[in-house]
Amino acid sequence: MIAPRPLSFEALHRRELARDPWVWVVAVMLPLTAFSWRTLAPEVGVMSVFGVAALLLPPAVLALLAPRLSRRTTWAFWGSLAPRPAGAYRGAVIGATLGALLPLSAAAAAVVVGAPPVPAASLVASVAAIVVAYGALAGLVAAATLEPARAVALGAVVWGLGVVAYEPALVALAVAFAERAFEPYLAALVLAHPLEIARVALLRALDTPVFVGPTGLLLERWWGWAPLGAAFWAGVTSLVGAALLTLIAGGVLARRAR
């Protein structure tokens, strides 16, 4: 008698997201955005697509993943079958993230066909970092709420703070502690924001003479002109942050399942 294969929460959620037509709708929007800038210089098109991706993908990933991961009845059923709820939920978060990552990364790769290799690789890596980071965030807010609407709303608040309030808060802290030994803490705040580092790395790779904001000025002061180093750090930060959020999310769900 053939023993049944063990249940894989990662595979279930990966297939569900990969087959979701809304994931492909979001993926198609990136090439359509690039088509709008087809007559401009390549660096303008690459940065424009990155700007659209940085604004479009975080709420899209939250809206696609958080409702699926926060279904209370689903986890009540699967939790009774899974011997380790925390591990099962972490597998679900990883699978859902991979299910969204593959089509969105493919769309980003289609956008940069014909672009210079370093900016093209930086853009694809930046899109992947956005999906991984916000997929893990969706897993955490879903585990904390187990209600789709509240999960999406909480994730949107975190995204808004990271996008809107980050650089003003960074400048305010730098000014407030200008006469104190605050630089190590300021460096930690800067290096912990992968989206900003990815943006600066892309601008550096394109050698674009534009103002890169306080993050860019601080990175130039510390690292000089090192776009590949900044891009590598953005990727490492995204992966480490996503792993930490996923680890915490599994613990939160296990505690709620008791």
98's CB contacts (< 8 A; 6+ apart) are 10, 14, 17
Cα torsion angle, 114, 34, 136, 229, sign: positive
The mean pLDDT of 116-128, rounded to a whole number, is: 80
For 34, the token pair is: 């690039």
- Is pTM beyond 0.75 here? yes
pLDDT at 71: 81
Separation in Å, CA 245 to CA 13, 100, 135, 249:
18, 17, 10, 6
Mean pLDDT of the chain, nearest integer: 79
- Give the CA radius of gyration of the chain: 20
Across 192-205, b (16+ Cβ under 10 Å) vs e yields ebbbbbbbbbbbbb
Q: Say how many Å lie between the first and final Cα of the chain, rounded.
A: 35
Q: Is the pLDDT of residue 67 over 60?
A: yes
> Which of the four pLDDT bands, split at 50, 70 and 90, describes residue 51?
confident
Is 27:107 a contact under the CB 8 Å cutoff?
Answer: yes
More confident residue, 68 or 81: 68
Question: Tokens 């705040």 map to which residue?
Answer: 189
Residues 6+ apart with CB under 8 A from 69: 13, 89, 92, 93, 96, 138, 139, 142, 143, 151
